[in-house]
A and B are shown apart, each in its own frame.
Chain A
Amino acid sequence: MQAAYVARRFGVFLLIVWLAGTLNFFLPRMSGQDPVRTKLLQQAALGGYVQGGIEEMTREYERRFGLDKPLWRQYLTYLHDISQLDFNYSIANYPRTVRELVADALPWTIGLLGITTLLSFGIGTLLGALLAWPRAPRWMVWLMPPLWALHAIPFFLLGLILTYLLAFQMPLLPIFGGYSAGITPALSWSFAWDVLQHALLPALSIILVATGGWALGMRGMTVTILGEDYVVFAEAKGLRASTVFMRYCVRNAILPQVTALALALGQILSGAVLVEVIFGYPGIGTLLYQAIRENDHFVIQGIVFTVIVALGFTTFVLDVVYPWLDPRISYHRT
């Protein structure tokens, strides 16, 4: 029954969410670090507070943050909080909450990742299929080596190179940021254009590298599919070349590609995080980077948790969509 399958997959999703939360909770605490005291000591070093008051302040903040209660109590409170998306305050940017910060940064990342993944997957898959198709134009073979070589390098590395070439040597595009400094975000065409210019280099770094990977995979699958009996029969039926290509080859070869997409999401995200850091793009990646620099544990945990949940959810959606693409996979099996 369809409902049972969906429920099972959702159960796995909840398990991942719980694991993420628990990991987030226990790991930092196992090291015995005290983020509050550390932060206060830092500020003391910078601003010259009176040492004596530190202990009282620490205790007060700990009470405020609930850090003085027994561990299991804290754990339950924590689970309760995150189920309501309450990730506490940001230590570095107090009184802003983690949720605010993440909510500000998330749309940028989703925009960048969403568009680049869709484009690279779409173009790469189609390109890969064409490269394996014997009747494709000859010149396409020349696309293979550069795509191949490109896909081996990490996104951010290409980002550095592209920045140097296109933003520094030839000032075509801006080097840094999500939008030009000093402009207030607004819903206008000029702002949108500004955003686009700033997003182009980060996006290109991801697209140029990722497309090669998808193309390679699709090409391999298509070559295998071309030897299948049903492709031979399709030709014997006198179908048009385009029909055989799309409905018989691509339609079948794309199934493992979608599986590969679900598995690769984590990697793509990791790569995107670094790209954002390099470009100072105001997404999750940059937020994470700053939080690490400032030892803002709550922000770090909030980001990690949010990302894990988002990815788990996307995987869940893909899992449920897959049987719809491949009728051989019924909803009955695990």
Chain B
Amino acid sequence: MSERVLRVEGLRVGFDHPQGLVQAVDDVSFALSPGERFGLAGESGSGKSTLALSILRMIKAPGRIQAGEVWFAGTRLADLDEEGMRALRLSDIALVPQGSMNSLNPVLRIQQQITDALADHGLRLTRGEEQQRIATLLAAVGLPNSVARMYPHELSGGMKQRACIAIATCLRPKVIIADEPTSALDVVVQRQVMATLALLQRDLAAAVILVGHDMGLMAQFVDRLGVMYAGRLVEVAPIAEIVTRPRHPYTRALIASLPSLERRGALAGIPGLAPVLRDLPGGCAFHPRCTLATDRCRTEKPKLRNIDGAQVACHLA
């Protein structure tokens, strides 16, 4: 157990809304081995971004962590005070945000956004050492050194994303949480950025949680995949397993909906709409859209069980 670099157990995160509690993350548990690539897939509103933020204890009111534990390399994160948590962020667990959006401070140069992280984590470097470090970081993400003195608005979407990766890895973290890092980029740039991320991850021997909704991307990048639906983990399995033998009806529908270059015909979707997290159906959250739903599905919430090396939360698996 102590070889696991990150462990999430029974995490529950809710948002207090005047019209009711929104259960964004419902009893999620998983664990990461060092250097492992873990994917977290789900549609918008499935709770994956909330999960990522709650690992870093960055949930703000009206949201709160209701239950569960997060362990990082043997340390229980709930035991850390605010200062301890702050020190842990970026240096041990780093977030790579969606950089092509607004994640970079518009009035600071890129190098300033690296050095302020270094400084606030206690690193005392000379100007020369700083410049050296920045140059190395930028090179590692495939950016020319001239980027250091630029402002975010002077960079393209792909360059901004790489800059975010550079910032996120400047303290050589052991866990990288990449939250939809390529969602707003075109496919060519996507490929480049993912390749960069893969290279860095191997070099740092860091574990990566890739949060996203692109199953194709997941298939190419991750070792293991967790599928989220309505705030719950419904299936966790090695990627090869999931793609060839999806066990949960939702996962099956997701895989089936991927457009193929070989087959032709109508695109397969999933009937119905994603549930409103404030008003979840009883029992299994997917049952209104599931073609195989039984009475038990409507009343009893399925738990994640082990089946042949995969974990599935379905009564019918």
A binding-site residues for B, Cβ under 8 Å: 134, 228-230, 232-240, 243, 247-248, 251-252, 255, 325-328
Contacts and interface: CB of A to CB of B under 8 A. Distances in A.
B268 interface: no
B103 A233 contact: yes
A229 B98 contact: yes
Interface residues of B, number: 30
A229 to B, nearest CB: 4
A107 B87 CA distance: 53
Nearest to B119: A243
Nearest to A238: B89
Interface of B: 56, 58, 60, 86-91, 94-95, 97-98, 101-108, 116-117, 120-121, 151, 153, 164, 167-168
A9 B187 CA distance: 44
Contacts of A235: 58, 89
B117 A252 contact: no
A255 B101 CA distance: 20
Given A243-B116, A327-B153, A328-B153, A236 B97 contact: yes
Contact of A252 (B86, B101, B105, B151): B105
Contacts of B106: 230, 252, 326-328
A238 B151 contact: no
Contacts of B89: 235-238
Q: Give chain A's interface secondary structure class.
A: helix
A247 B164 CA distance: 17
A326 B151 CA distance: 10
Nearest to A240: B120
A240 B168 CA distance: 16
Nearest to B117: A237
A327 B109 CA distance: 9
A60 to B, nearest CB: 64
B104 A232 contact: no
A255 B60 CA distance: 26
A229 B97 contact: yes
B117 A229 contact: no
A254 B174 CA distance: 37
B116 A247 contact: yes
A221 to B, nearest CB: 14
Contact of A328 (B87, B88, B151, B168): B151
Given A233-B95, A233-B97, A238 B103 contact: no
B153 A238 contact: no
Given A247-B116, A327-B153, A328-B151, A236 B56 contact: yes
B92 to A, nearest CB: 9
B97 A326 contact: no
A114 B262 CA distance: 74
Nearest to B91: A238
Given A228-B102, A229-B101, A327-B151, A238 B120 contact: yes
A247 B151 contact: no
Which of B60, B98, B101, B103 gathers the greatest number of chain A CB atoms within 10 Å? B103
Given A229-B97, A233-B95, A328-B151, A238 B117 contact: yes
B103 A230 contact: yes
A228 B89 CA distance: 19
Leading 9 A-B pairs by shortest Cβ distance: A238-B89, A236-B95, A229-B102, A238-B90, A233-B103, A229-B103, A327-B151, A237-B117, A230-B105
